[in-house]
Amino acid sequence: METVIFFNQQANTLQGRLAIRSKQRAAIITHPHPLYGGDMDNGVVATIVAAYAQLQWTTLRFNFRGTGQSEGCFDDGIGEQEDVQAAVDHLGQQGFEQIDLAGYSFGSWILARWSRNHHPHSHALRFVAPPVAFLDFENQRDLPGLRDVFVGRHDDLAPLDQIQRSLPCWQPTARLHVIENADHFFGARLTSLQTEITTALMG
């Protein structure tokens, strides 16, 4: 059901995949670190897409600048926030009333930075394996809009104990979901991750 699309971010054109299932609710999904092979075709990204699709949300996943067929160059998390905004604007122009932002690994870091720099906003954020041991999430700062965090029990890049300490500062009402027997890449636990995300969306 996904269609390859291209949308504009100022001087750059970004490549994405859009599946329209609803005219009201949409989710934007961001991918892991492009310098380590991350792109919108990542298996965890596809799993997040499937979780939203299961509940008939429209989904848009896209490649950050310099990745795949997206123009531009890697910008160390600065320009990538503009890419997120371009995706939000693209869906907003189509009249979507509710737009969730869900990110995996590096993608969640970009969303955290975007959220703080665009506060106040009305978007719900959902993080999968935020790599707090690898990237600076400014763990003592509020994270506007954060609703759910999903993390593997054995994730070395998103250590559970560190997430547990950070979450009350980020957003006291955000829910933590632990995927048993999973590391940062989830491996054979993708089905469990999808079920956990879908259940959270229904709650």
Res 139 pLDDT > 90: no
Integer Rg of the chain from CA = 15
Token pair for 40: 């919108």
Query: Do 111 and 30 touch, CB atoms closer than 8 A?
Result: yes
The model's confidence at residue 203, banded by pLDDT at 50, 70 and 90, is confident
Token pair for 81: 């926030």
This prediction's pTM? 0.98
Domain 3-202 falls under CATH 3.40.1160.10: no
Backbone phi, psi, residue 4, to 5°: -70, 130
Query: Do 137 and 166 touch, CB atoms closer than 8 A?
Result: yes
> Per-domain residue ranges for the chain?
3-202
Backbone phi, psi, residue 60, to 5°: -130, 115
120 preceded by a cis bond (ω within 30 of 0)? yes
Q: What is the mean pLDDT of residues 46-60?
A: 98
